Amino acid sequence: MVTITLIKDPDHTQRQLFDDWAGVLAADGRHQFGPDHTAHSADELREMSHSTDRRRVTWAAVDPQGTVVGAAALVMPQHDNRSQGLLIVIVHPDHRRRGVGTALLEHVESAAHDHGRTVLLAETQWPVGVRDESGEHFAARHGYAGAQTVLRSSLSLPADRRRLDAVLTADDADGYLVRTCWDGIPEAWLAGRAELSRRMSTDIPTGDLQLEEERWDVERVRADYERIAAMGRRVIDAFALHEESGELVGYTQVQVPQAHPEVAFQQDTLVLREHRGHGLGLRMKAAGTVALMEGSPATTSVRTWNADDNAPMLAVNHALGFVHDGMMREWQKVVAP
């Protein structure tokens, strides 16, 4: 039926195979969301395959005619959560319901077992207003349980500048400063940023997902910025600083792919628990949005994903003008070692 081929050398000998593999992800994105999809480009994915943060093992399902009809990967965190494995299983929309998905899933699950990964995670996505026609049935049939539901929202740019300025000049966050940086942060902030990333793994809603606290240090933060730059992305961080202690107490990040700057991606947003209630989430996001509008005029939309029970974050997004336009579900299956 299909041959499942390991892609070990996405840069050279298997470059075309890897491009076709990435093409399956893009075809699935177009099938679900039309031109508005968010699949990574082949070059971004190639760069991600070099990550020291999360090891990725990649397979292509190739039919007897030599066409890549399915794409799979096992993504394994390296610093923490070492029993976790994120499974990617996607079949080209023209080749579904012929057992390719099941064959790929069994292959990746077996690899996860060999790597000692027992908390298996997977994601499905669909646009607002339609049903997920395939992923939900497939995941449930293979023993995965829905562990978290996530809303995708988008903000059209340029956003209402008066609304943003009103947020930034409000006086309800006395004692705090908000600062933005493009493409990296001052050396002196790396340790504070590492602590924020650690807290990002403990201080946000995680549904039924079995996630461990993440381990972050200055080196990991540096490597993260290097990885983002190597992916061809520019990055804006907005930080909240507590004036009295000088500590970083919140951050939010937006990444802009330089090859396609039209859509930017809002990444982590966190205000430490002990500094919540001062409107810092809204101020940081407003500051990041202003910096984005000024520094990347080609960007016409920012996209973000938030847990459906994260009411404070959703309220911030709503206040800025984000509109809910997609859904994502995180699935989980815990297997015996």
Ligand X SMILES: CC(C)(COP(=O)(O)OP(=O)(O)OC[C@H]1O[C@@H](n2cnc3c(N)ncnc32)[C@H](O)[C@@H]1OP(=O)(O)O)[C@@H](O)C(=O)NCCC(=O)NCCS
Chain positions contacting ligand X, by CB under 6 A: 28, 89-91, 96-102, 122, 124, 133-135, 137-139, 141, 331
Q: What's the closest the beta carbon of residue 36 comes to ligand X, in angstroms? A: 16
- Rounded CA-CA distance 185/78 in Å is 24
Q: What's the closest the beta carbon of residue 146 comes to ligand X, in angstroms? A: 11
Nearer to ligand X, 40 or 98 (CB): 98
Q: Which residues contact 311 (CB under 8 A, 6 or more apart)?
A: none
Cα angle 96, 326, 315; round to 5? 160
Nearer to ligand X, 77 or 101 (CB): 101
Q: What's the closest the beta carbon of residue 103 comes to ligand X, in angstroms? A: 7
**Strand-pair partners of 82:** none
Assigned token pair, 314: 């959703």
- Rounded CA-CA distance 295/329 in Å is 33
Q: Which residues contact 164 (CB under 8 A, 6 or more apart)?
A: 286, 289, 290, 320
Contact (Cβ atoms closer than 8 angstroms) between residue 153 and residue 322: yes
Nearer to ligand X, 100 or 272 (CB): 100
Nearer to ligand X, 86 or 270 (CB): 86
Nearer to ligand X, 15 or 98 (CB): 98
Nearer to ligand X, 289 or 332 (CB): 332
Contact (Cβ atoms closer than 8 angstroms) between residue 127 and residue 29: no
Q: What's the closest the beta carbon of residue 213 comes to ligand X, in angstroms? A: 26
Nearer to ligand X, 104 or 167 (CB): 104
Quick one: which of 134, 116, 115, 114 has its CA closest to 124? 134
Contact (Cβ atoms closer than 8 angstroms) between residue 164 and residue 321: no
Q: For the chain, how many residues are written?
A: 337
Nearer to ligand X, 41 or 102 (CB): 102
Q: What's the closest the beta carbon of residue 317 comes to ligand X, in angstroms? A: 25
Q: What's the closest the beta carbon of residue 127 comes to ligand X, in angstroms? A: 13
Contact (Cβ atoms closer than 8 angstroms) between residue 65 and residue 51: no
Q: What's the closest the beta carbon of residue 267 comes to ligand X, in angstroms? A: 22
Q: What's the closest the beta carbon of residue 1 comes to ligand X, in angstroms? A: 11
Q: What's the closest the beta carbon of residue 201 comes to ligand X, in angstroms? A: 23
Nearer to ligand X, 31 or 222 (CB): 31
Long-range contacts of residues 110-118, Cβ cutoff 8 Å, at least 24 apart? 111/57, 111/74, 112/74, 112/85, 112/87, 112/335, 113/335, 115/74, 115/76, 115/85, 116/82, 116/83, 116/337, 117/74, 117/76, 117/82, 117/83, 117/84, 117/85, 118/83, 118/334, 118/335, 118/336, 118/337
